[in-house]
Amino acid sequence: MDFKDTTKEAEFRKKCHDWLDANAPKKDSSKAISGVNDETEYLAEAAKWQKKKYDAGWAMLHWPKEYGGINASPIERIIWGQEESKFDVPRGVYDIGLGMCGPVLMEYATEEQKQRYLPPMAEGKEIWCQLFSEPSAGSDVAGLRSKAVKDGDNWIINGQKVWTSGAHYSDFGILVVRHDPDAEKHKGLTFFFLDMKSPGIEVRPIKQITGTSNFNEVYFNDVVIPDSQRLGEIGDGWKVAITTLMNERLAVGDANGVDVEDAFKLAKKQDDEGDTLINDGSVRDSIADWYCEAKGLSNTKLRTMSALSKGETPGPEASITKIVSANKLQSIGNFGIDSMDMAGMLRSDEGVSRSFQNAWLGAPGLRIAGGTDEILKNIIAERILGLPQDPRADKGVAFKDIPSGN
């Protein structure tokens, strides 16, 4: 057992670090963890940073060489991610494009389309989004209802998507819709990509409980998509979508925000009826629990990396990450507010207490996004422990006959 990189990994890490060090500012840990203030400014910064990475060959490491990547191994992607996260650079804007949309185009698009769309995606000139979830299709995403009707060489799309990150600033999107409501649920779906500036698309931001808007509703009114932008066969939409969703599961990991170290620091200085909070038994109990969870997750990650480093397939252990981290975040957020007793109700504009309040407000969303706690528990039970699926009311039934509650 050891925590050293292999020689090859160490060389790669040094290369990453050296380039980042010469091209990006280091993170300032004294700053509070907060949301993005000005989106336009952030996007401009993100585009600049993406272009810089692209020019130096760091933009899409995991892509195959023929599309400008270096076919980076999973361990190299992790190393790059670890090094990049030490620097104060905008992240996240291009993840959906590079992580989900790019790979799906590589597999299903024509050569000409790949030439047209992949380079600007990698370079940060065009942003992509993913249009899967619908108001009546969340955890049960294959229950989606947006319609595609064939019209000559085109498809006419009507319906509504929801929880689309970045739809309002995206140039293109990938989309699953139902072309055949008479077929079984999973068989009546078809997959497309489309221009987000197409006539008939209306994007409305969703105001979240945080007061901010990170997601959108997207309405389709007779939106025209050429058949040439179909990815996969008619009726293969679910198969294509599953590939992208697998990529999403890999991407959605730790819930970012305050963690046990922040709770510990707060407990050491926060006055509590004449003593500091850290001397309270129930606080010590909670901190021990959070510490075990936080270390349990980071050590689990190290085990996954160990397997990757040896060229082995990692075990299923990383599937616990989001359930544990999102719940821990909620619990720590609650603690931060409670620690100030009555004054905990006051919304603060900055600093540490703002970070705890943001955690408390944001955590409910993290427990839902990218697979709810409940769905993730089903996945652990069915795929890892091998328990049987629930009997389903939607099997072997035409989609239009499945009970929908309305």
Partner 1 sequence: MNLDFSDEQKFLKEEAKKFLTNEEALKKARNVMENDDAHFDNDLWKKIVELGWTGIRIPEAYDGLGLSHLELCVIAEELGKSLAPTPFSSSVYIFTEFLINFANDEIKEKLLPALVSGEAIGTFAVTEDLMAPTKENINTSVSDNGEISGKKIAIPDAKIATHLIVVAKHSSGIQLRLVDLSDKSVSIDHQKTIDETRAHYSVSFNNTPSLLVGSQSDGWSHYNHVINQSAVLFAFEQVGGAEATLEMATSYAKERYAFGRPIGSYQAIKHKLSDMYVALTLARSNCYYAAWALNSESADFELAAATARVSSTKAFNLCSQENIQTHGGNGFTWEYDCHLYYKRAKLLSVNIGSLKNWKNKLVNNLEKSNTH
Binding site for partner 1 (CB under 8 A): 1-6, 9, 75, 264, 268, 278, 284-285, 287-289, 291-293, 295-297, 299-300, 302-303, 305-307, 309-310, 317, 320, 323-324, 374, 376-378, 380-382, 384-391
CB 185 to partner 1: min, Å: 19
In the complex with partner 1, the residue whose CB is nearer, 183 or 352, is 352
CB 264 to partner 1: min, Å: 6
In the complex with partner 1, the residue whose CB is nearer, 78 or 234, is 78
In the complex with partner 1, the residue whose CB is nearer, 36 or 252, is 252
CB 242 to partner 1: min, Å: 21
In the complex with partner 1, the residue whose CB is nearer, 45 or 280, is 280
CB 369 to partner 1: min, Å: 19
Collapsing DSSP to helix, strand or coil, 373 comes out as helix
CB 84 to partner 1: min, Å: 18
**Start-end of H helices in 230-280:** 237-251, 260-269
Query: In degrees to the nearest 10, what's the CA dihedral of 192, 198, 202, 203?
Result: 70
The angle, 0 to 180 degrees and rounded to 10, between the axes of the packed helices 111-123 and 39-56 is 110
The angle, 0 to 180 degrees and rounded to 10, between the axes of the packed helices 351-366 and 321-338 is 140
CB 163 to partner 1: min, Å: 23
CB 299 to partner 1: min, Å: 4
Buried b or exposed e, range 28-62, using 16+ CB within 10 angstroms: eeeeebeeeeebeeebeebbebbebbbeeebbbbb
Dihedral-angle region of residue 71 (phi above 0 means left; psi in -120 to 50 means alpha; beta otherwise): left
Angle, CA 365 vertex, CA 49 and CA 336 arms, to 5°: 95
The two structure tokens encoding residue 152: 């000559």
Distance CA 260, CA 291 (A): 6
CB 289 to partner 1: min, Å: 8
In the complex with partner 1, the residue whose CB is nearer, 224 or 324, is 324
Cα of first residue to Cα of last residue in the chain, in angstroms, is 57
Distance CA 52, CA 22 (A): 12
In the complex with partner 1, the residue whose CB is nearer, 278 or 398, is 278
Which among 125, 69, 68, 62 has a CA at the least distance from the CA of 94?
Answer: 125
In the complex with partner 1, the residue whose CB is nearer, 300 or 355, is 300
- Identity of the residue numbered 179: H
The two structure tokens encoding residue 402: 């499945």
In the complex with partner 1, the residue whose CB is nearer, 78 or 340, is 78
